[in-house]
Structure 1
Amino acid sequence: MTTAALTESNVATGVSGPLLADAEFKFLRDFVYQHCGIALGEQKHQLVQGRLQRRLRALGLKEFGSYCQLLRTDPEGELGELASAISTNVTSFFREMHHYDLLVSELLPRWLEEKKHNGRLRIWSAGCSTGEEPYALAMVLAEALERTGSSVDARILATDLSPQALEQARAGLYALERMDGVSDERRRKWFLRGEGRYEGYACVHPRLRELVTIQPLNLLHDWPMRGPFDAIFCRNVVIYFDKPTKQRLFERYAGLLEQGGYLFLGHSESMYGLSDSFELVGRTVYRKCTR
């Protein structure tokens, strides 16, 4: 699921188009909560109207009633586009660097040593947005594999609800100005500089693509993967969920993590009072309790 930074400043001003009636807004609020886990307050009425007017134009619809009927008829078919429309993808390479420092200095060396005899290492980027997070994880993982000469079966699963975000993640193509968090050394090693029509862009190295599997997934629906995972990154996602949704999600994460596995949350998120399956071991870093 993408980071849903729903703020009034995001609403485009002066946008003309159909008006969102109160009953239609209530339907959309209920639909978004049921299918995405995002609780929209009454103050988001104008924001939702402005965001979805663009979606209506893309679909050739003249009124919100027709859009609501589309959702009733084919909820899954439009769900990803709806989530994209009302959400803002806020992400960057190596955001919250202390998480990557912990991986490099402690976790990856330990895991690779423990799993060197026919082991497997799995990391899940849940809410991967446009791909910066899983590719940053792939960089530190690839470097750890090279450093140790390890042949451990290591993979990263990257999932999101937004089709637009996943499309960019699969392309692995990023404007140079979006790569401030990547060191010069890593830019040279893990990216191919674009030329011609791709001037001003960089593409992730094929080695990173080998490590990352990108798939659509709604965190509130069934999960096809069985795990177990050594670490799950779910950063800047659950802040937009209500308490019961967070509790259910954390317990599901616990069920897919190895004993002693790690869950990484965003800088504004906390598990305090929400789960007894984890213990806090660092700044927004939680470890699954061993029982």
Structure 2
Amino acid sequence: MASLSTPLLGGAIHERGVVKLIMQDEEFNYLSQLAFRESGIVINESKRDMLYGRVMKRIRSLKLNGFTAYCQLLQDSYTGELSAFINAITTNLTAFFREEYHFNFLQKVALAHFKHHNQDKRLRLWSAGCSTGQEPYSIAMSVQGQLPDWDVKILATDLDSDVLWCAHQGHYDDLTGIPQHYRTQYCANECHQHGYLIGDDIKQVIAFKQLNLLSRWPMKGQFDVIFCRNVLIYFDNETKQKLIQRFYAQLKPGGYLFLGHSESLQSLNTKFRLVGQTIYQR
């Protein structure tokens, strides 16, 4: 009986009449090392299928004949395809008011702290790894109206240029997660036939910028609040340690750091103090 999977030339197999491209070990190693070097994202053997699927989309889009050709493209036109490659491997799962307890803490505890301590009535917040924008918009809705006459600014950054474009548009098909009173106040009047637009009064307090967290940070001032949720899980411990130290330096004394529900600073050497569920204070 003939084998169901017959090797072909050019890094592919013939499987039940369908040609399936193969990602050789050398190609996997090259792509995973490139991802780590450029973004800090760790792609080990357990994520091989994930890498295969996402790079395959680029190969089809570019009409290349396999992984060897794609790796060669990255080498030949390094800066041209690199951005698309990094966009392809980043994970952008997000939602409005995800991990709602964080926003309750922000309103009831953190803002009360700042009302007492920030005599200049300035508040600076950073959504690091903002994805398609649901997180910074949720932060803005939580803060807006709570601090009348305050100077509030939110920096929202991500490595992925594609999701940043979506975030800047503020156009969503689904508003699941947004409390009804916020929908009425900030979204309902902007409804149109293809979805919903976030209102300008929310948009105007947010600046969306592309930023690699492992590169130099151009921000000069410190922040009162940093949200960096479900980002550390993609880094090794050495990278996490360096990043947490930089977050500590970038926060004002008394400022808050919000991490994802599965993240912790327990194994790291840090001066942060745990004050809530994955919430830390400098």
Query: Shorter-chain TM-score category?
Result: 0.7 to 0.9
1:216-235 aligned within 5 A: 216-235=210-229
Bigger Cα Rg:
2
Give the letter for the 2:179 counterpart: S
Q: Decide which of 135, 138, 141 is 1:136's aligned counterpart.
A: 138
Q: What is the CA distance between 1:42 and its match in structure 2?
A: 1.6
Q: Decide which of 155, 158, 161 is 1:160's aligned counterpart.
A: 158
- Runs of 4+ with >3 A deviation: 14-18, 73-80
1:36 and 1:96 mapped to 2: Cα distance?
25
1:180 corresponding residue in structure 2: 176
Q: What is the CA distance between 1:51 and its match in structure 2?
A: 1.5
1:276 corresponding residue in structure 2: 270
1:65-214 aligned within 5 A: 65-117=68-120, 119-145=121-147, 149=148, 151-176=149-174, 179-191=175-187, 192-196=189-193, 198=194, 201-214=195-208
2:111 and 2:75 mapped to 1: Cα distance?
46
Give the letter for the 1:156 counterpart: I
Q: Write out per-residue CA displacement over residues 167-207 of structure 1, whole angstroms, 9 at most, x where no aligned residue.
A: 1101101113xx221111110101144333x2xx1110101
Q: Are the aligned partners of 1:109 and 1:144 in contact in 2 as well (CA < 8 Å)? A: no
Q: Are the aligned partners of 1:190 and 1:204 in contact in 2 as well (CA < 8 Å)? A: yes
Query: Does the C-alpha gap of structure 1 residues 115 and 169 become closer, same or farther in structure 2, counting only changes over 3 Å?
Result: same
2:109 and 2:220 mapped to 1: Cα distance?
26
Q: Secondary structure at the match of 2:204?
A: helix
Count of equivalent residues: 265
Q: Are the aligned partners of 2:275 and 2:281 in contact in 1 as well (CA < 8 Å)? A: yes
Note the aligned Cα RMSD (angstroms).
Answer: 1.9
Q: Secondary structure at the match of 1:231?
A: strand
2:96 and 2:43 mapped to 1: Cα distance?
29
Q: Write out per-residue CA displacement over residues 32-75 of structure 1, whole angstroms, 9 at most, x where no aligned residue.
A: 11111121112333332222111122223322223223333454
- Give TM-score scaled by structure 2 length: 0.87
Range with bigger deviation, 85-94 or 130-139: 85-94
2:118 and 2:108 mapped to 1: Cα distance?
17
Q: Are the aligned partners of 2:228 and 2:260 in contact in 1 as well (CA < 8 Å)? A: yes
Q: What is the CA distance between 1:116 and its match in structure 2?
A: 4.3
- Give TM-score scaled by structure 1 length: 0.85
Q: What is the CA distance between 1:253 and its match in structure 2?
A: 0.6
Q: Secondary structure at the match of 1:108?
A: helix
Q: What is the CA distance between 1:24 and its match in structure 2?
A: 0.9
Q: What is the CA distance between 1:255 and its match in structure 2?
A: 1.2
Q: Are the aligned partners of 2:96 and 2:178 in contact in 1 as well (CA < 8 Å)? A: yes
> Percent identity of the aligned residues?
42
Q: What is the CA distance between 1:17 and its match in structure 2?
A: 5.2
1:256 and 1:16 mapped to 2: Cα distance?
51
Q: What is the CA distance between 1:77 and its match in structure 2?
A: 4.0
Q: What stretches of structure 2 of length at least 5 have no aligned partner?
A: 1-16
Q: Are the aligned partners of 1:250 and 1:275 in contact in 2 as well (CA < 8 Å)? A: no
Higher relative contact order (CA 8 A, sep 6+): 1
Q: Write out per-residue CA displacement over residues 69-114 of structure 1, whole angstroms, 9 at most, x where no aligned residue.
A: 3333454443442233223311111111111111111212331443
Q: Write out per-residue CA displacement over residues 223-248 of structure 1, whole angstroms, 9 at most, x where no aligned residue.
A: 11123000110001101211101001
